[in-house]
Chains A and B, each alone.
Chain A
Amino acid sequence: MNLTKIHLSRRQALGVAAGGALGAVALRFGLDEIGPTTAATVSAGGWPSPLGTQRAMAAHLLRRAGFAFSQADLDTAAALSYDDLVDHVVSQKPAPLPLPADLTNHNQVAAAWYSHMVTTSAQFPERMTLFWHGVLTSDYRNAARLPFVYQQNVLYRKAGLSDLRSLLASVTTDPLMMRYLNLDASTAAAPNENYARELMELFTLGPGNYSEADVREAARALSGLRIQLVDSTGARIAAPRYAKANAQAYADEVNALVRSGATFRGALVARVHDSGTKTFLGRTGNLGPDDVIDIVLAQPACAPFVTRRAMTFFATPNPSSADVNAVATQFRANKYDVATLMRAIFRSSAFTSPTNYRSLLRSPTDYMVSTMRVLNRPQLATGAVRAGAGMDQVLYAPPNVAGWPSNAGWVSSSTLLARINFATTALAHGTTLPDTAAAVRTHLDGVLGRDTTAALGAAKTPSDRWFALLASPEFQLK
């Protein structure tokens, strides 16, 4: 799962060398109308870093803990000290996802989520939901005619802000995950190893921290989970039966059930569960799913592994082991509390260092949501669901169980063109455009490279100026 990072680190290193050579000479500090930036530090890769000021630090945090923001948002945030702002951001409560018309239609759910990411003021919970969607990932193709994508989205928004134990426990009985990694068909007679392996390799420990025997034993302990429908009191109820002839009635019934509070979730069925003795990561007994999670969480590799994934997503493309361990220690000591993890990341020097400016590359979702936010055009959400394909990110259709690429892994000749074309699409809708000079200050901190400065200067219309801003390398970064 670290493939992207590993195979690109060399390239990034080369980029630092060449970019440094070019950048130091090539940079111009902003547009004339903005005035010079007073940055004293140059980030690792050559952008002049504005992170010495409270306002720039606020922008840096908002951009990474949420998506793009308005000037008013920034004004409010910059009035707080950085530490207070971190507390404020991390304590945001999630706003519920507005329900799409058909909860069983993954495209409608994805569009509802895009729209929500654009419009909600509770930005941090959406960013966390997106993070967990990429780590504990699943694929919509396992949810035909069922509301599983919707349910997982709701689950990650809620449990994703709790603690890792609660999150993993609920993920292990989440119907989309159960289908995706075949828990729902694993029996005592022939356990399916898929979930057991990926739980350790990709979700919690990383390769090298367990044996093939541990995979087999964990698969036994996890056998026998089956998807059941329960009502809002938790009592099991009969699931509607699908038939081709009454597909619409079936969809209506499923939608009505979910709207009334019914949920599909996994339950251990004794008849197909292996209740024999297992030995897993050194513990022996009649182990079940909860034991597997507890034992995994007790491994020393767990906190650093999850922390590294979070830091790669939120802080810096290649965090040092020292930086990871410093955060992981707090995460583990505080019972894997997600808020503790995130506060520690946002306060770590790996995050706040001036040299860390623009070290992350916006994912396609981040890029599209940010574009819709700066233009105030949430109505593009349905188009974003489609446009994601060209940029390599269709929500709930990750390339594989390792989840989404990160940073440099998003870049190819094809994906960059798709991003640029999305800017054109976004600008084709609506008539009034916000002021570009103010946008350059708010969204790009006034820090522009030579090429973008020239393109903005040469642009003749507001639409062309906005195109230069949205298609620029600066706007792809954060």
Chain B
Amino acid sequence: MSVTRRDFLAAGLVGAASGVMVPPVFAKGVFAAGIEGIHNDRVLVVLQLAGGNDGLNTVVPYADPAYLSARPTVGVRPDAVLHIDSSVGLNPALKGMKSLYDGGQVAIVQGVGYENPTYSHFENLYVWEYADPQRAQTDGWLGKLLGSQIDSQGHPLSACALGETSTPPELRAPTATVSVIDSITGYTVRGGATRQATAPALYRTTPGIYGVLFDQALSTAESGMKTLAAGASAYTPAAQYAVAGATQAANSLGAALQLTAQMIVTEPSVKICHVVLSGFDTHQAESTRQTALLTEVDAAVSAFMTDLTAHGQADRVVLMTWSEFGRRINENGSQGTDHGAAAPLFIVGKPVTGGLYGEQPSLTSTIDSGNLKYTVDFRSVYQTLIRDWLQGDPAAILGASYPELPIIRVA
């Protein structure tokens, strides 16, 4: 990379000091030309399970007697578990995931976490989003990647947050362009040609501390809308995303992943996608709530993989799940579980070597009065995806090197 962000910032400050007006589009052009980063057709989809998904009820250590004794009401019955091996199995709601696993397309990474965990949602979100347990970084890990190794400036759709309205923190960085698209039909300026021309013209050279943020958001929207209008070509979903009989509200993830498939199929510049499903903070009535959520995840991810395969795109897409923490080993008195620590995550796709990775943490040798000790640092997962899947430089993003997991099958 020949132009670092520091150079870019320095250039901006020199420009400010000399009073020379640099049109933002020109500044972007200079920066974009300097990118010597990732050039391939691979796509990473990040599925966030917000609220702290209960890992022990997702990948269940069913053969360990300590499991059900810690969770007399919340625990998954051993005979209902979808067996992965003689010690762990999947939650019965994850039938599609099990079938993908049996097809060799799911890597289950067990015991993912970090040293000295916090039990706060927001501190853990920070840790995962910024890849920094010290919580000192100011850019999201994918935002850094976008800003430094992916030429996102000229390609508004290289990073897309889909089915949501705000920019996910892990994609945020000053030099990262992110398109946030709740739905394609809503991603438009309504009211006719005059309004469509006026709106972006209002945000070309906005002064003030929000100026760059405003102008970049609207120019990203403007070019994204044009690209989408031009490419509104061939995409018909080849899979059923919705859970049968579910309401529209209970199908938000299905809609988001269908939109993700559409973007991947129709827009070659798409590189990183983010989708999110919320509601995993199951302090109460966990069994019902987590089952509903995992059912939605299962239907949506299964359909997404089927759809990508039908459109001939499965070879270039890998999906990872993450959640800010797992939950406490012992259930609480409200048929739920409180905030915990390490948990498993899934890496799904045709380029993946399926199987179990990492170790299931002990239920009896615990940390912080009854929490799971991690066995795999979450940055090992990030490093594996950056280097082995996206073919980028993880050290520049993570600041250090972590043991990689042999998850990506293709070179």
Contacts and interface: CB of A to CB of B under 8 A. Distances in A.
Of the candidates A43, A189, A417, A473, the one having the most CB atoms from chain B within 10 angstroms of its own CB is: A417
Contacts, number: 273
B180 A415 contact: yes
B165 A414 contact: yes
| Chain B interface residue number, banded | 35 or more
A358 interface: yes
Interface string B105-131: 000000000000011111101100110
Contact of A25 (B19, B24, B140, B190): B19
Contact of B126 (A3, A389, A391, A473): A3
Nearest to A318: B209
Interface in A16-71: 16-27, 43-47
B355 interface: no
Contacts of A416: 203, 214, 217-218, 221
Nearest to B335: A185
Interface stretch (A5-13, A242-250, A320-328): A5-13
B238 interface: no
Given A7-B139, A18-B211, A185-B333, A449 B206 contact: yes
A277 B299 CA distance: 48
B217 A411 contact: yes
25 contacts: A10-B139, A14-B174, A17-B12, A19-B206, A26-B21, A47-B207, A182-B284, A186-B333, A187-B333, A192-B283, A194-B338, A207-B122, A212-B369, A359-B209, A391-B165, A392-B165, A412-B167, A412-B178, A413-B179, A415-B166, A415-B180, A454-B201, A472-B202, A473-B206, A477-B208
A473 B333 contact: no
B169 interface: yes
A464 interface: yes
Contacts of B206: 19, 22, 449, 451, 473
B339 A412 contact: no
Interface in B122-155: 122-123, 125-126, 129-130, 138-140
Main secondary structure of the interface of A (DSSP, over half): helix
Interface of B: 9, 12-13, 15-16, 19-22, 24, 27, 50-51, 118-123, 125-126, 129-130, 138-140, 156, 161, 164-167, 169, 172-174, 178-182, 186-191, 194-195, 198-199, 201-214, 217-218, 220-221, 224, 278, 281, 283-284, 331-334, 336, 338-339, 368-369
| Chain A interface residue number, banded | 35 or more
A11 B172 contact: yes
Given A15-B212, A392-B165, A477-B210, A9 B138 contact: yes
A4 to B, nearest CB: 8
Given A10-B138, A450-B204, 4 more contacts: A15-B208, A19-B207, A451-B203, A468-B202
Nearest to B139: A10
Interface of A: 1-3, 6-12, 14-27, 43-47, 181-182, 185-187, 189-194, 197, 201-202, 207, 212, 215-216, 317, 358-359, 361, 389-392, 399-402, 405, 407-418, 420-421, 424-425, 428, 449-452, 454-455, 458-459, 464, 467-468, 471-473, 476-477
